[in-house]
Amino acid sequence: NQSLQELDPEIYQVLEGELQRQRDTLEMIASENFVPRAVLQAQGSVLTNKYAEGYPGRRYYGGCEWVDIAESLAIERALEVFGGDYANVQPHSGAQANAAVLHALAQPGDTILGLSLDHGGHLTHGMKLNFSGRLYNVAAYGVDKETYRIDMDDVRQKAIESKPKVIIAGWSAYPRTLDFQAFREIADEVGAYLWVDMAHFAGLVAAGLHPSPVPFADVVTTTIHKTIGGPRSGMILSSRGETLGRKLNSAVFPGQQGGPLMHVIAAKAVALKVAASAEFKDRQMRTLSGARILADRLSQPDVSEAGISVLTGGTDVHLVLVDLQNSALSGKDAEDLLHTVNITVNRNAVPFDPRPPMVTSGLRIGTPALATRGFSDDDFREVADVISVALRDAALGREVDTEALKDRVAALTAAHPLYPGLEQ
Ligand code: PLP
């Protein structure tokens, strides 16, 4: 019955250090968020002890009466929030959900067509070292060289040429909404399934602030931990449950996974309850306006004159892609620089990037975690200015006043305490 602090002071210290880091920095990695304390509680619960292979009411283990309730609630809430008639809440992660979808819809050797990784796609959409690139024959579409937007004529052309079994729409680094109707028409034209991976923008969809792929796609996958702000995990949805439900269920278990993580499933149920609330919608609205404020500030003349711009000229979603191709500052330099003023972002290759993948010419900056922390438009204006001044001065070879910028960051973190009262 020892506490963590007594049993394992080293790991206790890691948790303490990480909590402090999260409190003291501005978290702007677009795929990260802060879960509610209720999610921490569900995830750190005795449900972690339970084996529950199978599905609610059809388990291969006894004693599942309580975890069945948790999983059924998670499914009900997922359908309430996203629509459709099928949900599987068991995938341990986004990548697991995606593996299960390909397992259900395609055979090894079949062709899949997705957005290429270096234009903003995800590893599981056909990257050559990933299972998706090893098991399937991969065709890829990209963005237009001038506009940096996905060109649906190119998608159609590639689909006609490659005759994919599955067309994948979805991204990890792309600042615009997708035309799901157009993807559907192309999939129908070539006789392919349409799978949408909405991992990044699912929170916006849940709040009704982004078009929903659910009516258009055969299958939709998502993570729960990005814009939704729930536990790290994945989920599969469909509006074609009658035809595809059994296949998808069997692809998750026993196809990909053994026992589901019931503590995480309970935490997912909590996150999906939150996702139906008015407070959640307000948070997603602040997420979007924060990203627009950031894109706007980074497009001002003082920043453009330093060779820095915003890919596609703005954003429709929760992130901004900063283009450093014409700047002396690389993605790596920019990431490191912002780290020194306590802002956490990640460098990201831009399409047609001339710099190597570990260096890159881009930054991906997201607003979901700060919106969850309570940031208003005014706060985002201040963050946007700190980022812009730091990048501008560094790109122009001027001395960056890191102490002053750090003080401005500290004022913001102090104004929005994270997990007040929480101790590890
Ligand atoms: N799909 C997309 C579009 C993603 O961006 C990500 C994560 O970065 C994933 C899937 C994978 O999620 P996970 O890291 O939970 O496996």
User: Mean pLDDT over residues 241-258, rounded?
Assistant: 97
DSSP classification of residue 297: H
Q: What is the pTM of this model?
A: 0.97
Residues within a 6 A CB radius of ligand 1: 31, 93-95, 98, 122, 124, 170-172, 197, 199-200, 223, 234
- 271 close to 80: Cβ distance less than 8 angstroms: no
Is 263 known as a binding-site position? no
For residue 424, pLDDT over 80 is answered with: no
pLDDT band at 104 (very low <50, low <70, confident <90, very high): very high
3-state secondary structure 169-198: EECCCCCCCCCHHHHHHHHHHHCCEEEEEC
d(CA 55, CA 69): 11
- For residues 92, 95, 96, 102, the Cα torsion angle rounded to the nearest 10 degrees is 160
Q: Is 184 a catalytic residue?
A: no
* Interface ipTM above 0.90: yes
DSSP classification of residue 150: B
Could you report the per-residue pLDDT of 105-115, keeping only the tens digit for each? 999 999 999 99
375-397: b or e for each residue (b if 16 or more CB lie within 10 Å)? beeebbbbbbbbbbbbbbbbbbe
pLDDT band at 423 (very low <50, low <70, confident <90, very high): confident
d(CA 236, CA 238): 7
* DSSP string for residues in 223-265: ESSSTT---S-EEEEES-HHHHHHHHHHHHTTTT-SS--HHHH
Could you report the per-residue pLDDT of 351-368, keeping only the tens digit for each? 999 999 999 999 999 999
Is 121 known as a binding-site position? yes
What tokens does 300 get?
């001002």
Distance of CA 200 to the CA centre of its chain: 3
In the prediction, which pLDDT does 27 show? 98
Is 26 known as a binding-site position? no
pLDDT band at 237 (very low <50, low <70, confident <90, very high): very high
Q: Is 51 a catalytic residue?
A: yes
Mutate to test the pocket of ligand 1, among 112, 119, 124 (most ligand atoms within 8 A of CB): 124
